[in-house]
């Protein structure tokens, strides 16, 4: 049987636990009510999204768990200039926008802005330009987008991507073959099911460098593409977006962005000599 004193202690302990849970909940709610800029500066933590297999953009060493990549380096420089700790939240390219919306990450670099995405999140100014190329199978030598815009030409893309949207707009007469991922689109090219794959130049150069049997990287003329931006949560207070915009321009002027790109291309065995003629970033 429980004595009155023990019973009172149980009640007191329960009340204390409830109070602690309530306080914790209020603290979490207060943090969620903060703007992104307020949360980053008050917690001293900057959360960026990272794709473990996204080299050279982001990459995670499976043996050590250490992150790297151009956007890791850029994010680390941003965190250092803010005097905050960098925290990597693992995500995928496909779910990154949802992670930003859900306030699980403060910023996601490597996002190509599209009208559909812009309905859900805000975008910063461009971090750099990214030209669209095609990986063409051996013996297929298109020079222009007009050469690709023919009914007999099959172009693989990852569905819903900027690769898909640009190829669809520029080549309405071609057969656009859509796949769930970039890797599946590349597999279709490797197996001879399509004539070429629409892809941004860094991904194309890396794929051909790793497997020359795929074919070659061609920059169809005139040059088209997109920009690589960062996505941030849409909120009334635009301080965070505006601050990052200012920082990006500052980092570009210092050569920090270019250095991060070149350094991490080298980590996947791509040198400046491998960059296709006419491609700038």
CATH number reported for the structural domain that contains residue 175 in this entry: 3.40.190.10
Question: Would you say residue 5 lies in a domain?
Answer: no
**How many beta carbons lie within 10 A of that of residue 252, not counting itself?**
15
Question: Would you say residue 279 lies in a domain?
Answer: no
* Cα separation, 263 vs 176, whole angstroms: 34
Question: Would you say residue 30 lies in a domain?
Answer: no
Do residues 112 and 142 both lie within one domain? no
Do residues 187 and 144 both lie within one domain? yes
Give this prediction's pTM.
0.81
- What's the token pair of residue 206? 């890396």
Do residues 53 and 94 both lie within one domain? yes
* Cα separation, 134 vs 37, whole angstroms: 39
Do residues 210 and 253 both lie within one domain? no
Do residues 92 and 153 both lie within one domain? no
**pLDDT tens per residue across span 157-166:** 998 888 998 9
* Cα separation, 126 vs 166, whole angstroms: 18
Do residues 49 and 111 both lie within one domain? yes
Question: Would you say residue 86 lies in a domain?
Answer: yes
Do residues 139 and 70 both lie within one domain? no
| Count of structural domains within the chain | 2
Do residues 118 and 231 both lie within one domain? yes
The domain of 116 spans 36-128+227-274
SS (H, E, C) 116-134: HHHCCCEECCCCEEEEEEE
The residues pairing with 129 across neighbouring beta strands, listed in sequence order, are 227
Question: Would you say residue 176 lies in a domain?
Answer: yes
Do residues 146 and 157 both lie within one domain? yes
**pLDDT tens per residue across span 216-271:** 999 999 999 889 999 999 999 999 999 999 999 999 999 999 999 999 999 999 99
Question: Would you say residue 242 lies in a domain?
Answer: yes
**From residue 46, how far is each of 35, 42, 236 by CA, in Å?**
13, 10, 20
Output helix, strand, coil percentages for the chain, rounded to the nearest 5.
45, 20, 35
Question: Would you say residue 13 lies in a domain?
Answer: no
Q: Are 144 and 138 in contact (CB under 8 A)?
A: no
User: Exposure string (b/e) for 214-224, b if CB count within 10 Å is 16 or more?
Assistant: bbbbbbbeebe
Do residues 49 and 113 both lie within one domain? yes
Q: Give backbone dihedrals phi and psi of 136, rounded to 5 degrees, phi first.
A: -100, 140
| End-to-end CA gap in the chain | 77
Question: Would you say residue 10 lies in a domain?
Answer: no
Do residues 80 and 104 both lie within one domain? yes
- What string of pLDDT tens digits covers the 281 residues of the chain? 555 555 445 445 554 444 444 544 554 455 568 999 999 999 999 999 999 988 999 999 999 999 999 999 999 999 999 999 999 999 998 899 999 999 999 999 999 998 889 999 999 999 999 999 999 999 999 999 999 999 999 999 998 888 998 999 999 999 999 998 889 999 999 999 999 999 999 999 999 999 999 999 999 999 998 899 999 999 999 999 999 999 999 999 999 999 999 999 999 999 999 999 888 87
């Amino acid at each position: 049987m429980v004595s009155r004193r023990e019973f009172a202690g149980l009640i007191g302990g329960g009340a204390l636990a409830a109070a602690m849970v309530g306080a914790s909940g209020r603290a979490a709610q207060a943090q969620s009510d903060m703007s992104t800029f307020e949360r980053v500066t008050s917690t001293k933590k900057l959360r960026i999204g990272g794709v473990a297999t996204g080299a050279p953009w982001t990459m995670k060493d499976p043996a050590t768990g250490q992150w790297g990549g151009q956007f890791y380096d850029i994010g680390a420089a941003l965190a250092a200039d803010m005097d905050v700790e960098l925290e990597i939240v693992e995500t995928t390219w496909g779910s990154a926008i949802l992670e930003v919306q859900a306030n699980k990450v403060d910023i996601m670099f490597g996002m190509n802005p599209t009208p559909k995405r812009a309905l859900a999140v805000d975008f910063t100014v461009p971090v750099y330009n990214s030209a669209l190329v095609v990986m063409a199978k051996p013996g297929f030598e298109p020079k222009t987008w007009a050469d690709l815009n023919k009914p007999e030409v099959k172009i693989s893309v990852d569905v819903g991507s900027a690769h898909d949207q640009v190829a669809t707009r520029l080549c309405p007469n071609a057969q656009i073959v859509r796949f769930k991922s970039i890797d599946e689109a590349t597999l279709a090219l490797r197996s001879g099911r399509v004539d070429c794959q629409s892809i941004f130049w860094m991904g194309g150069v890396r794929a051909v460098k790793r497997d020359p049997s795929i074919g070659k990287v061609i920059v169809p003329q005139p040059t088209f593409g997109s920009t690589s931006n960062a996505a941030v949560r849409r909120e009334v207070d635009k301080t965070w977006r505006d601050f990052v915009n200012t920082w990006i321009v500052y980092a570009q002027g210092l050569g920090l962005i270019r250095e991060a790109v070149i350094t991490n291309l080298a980590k996947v065995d791509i040198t400046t000599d491998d960059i296709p003629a006419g491609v700038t970033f």
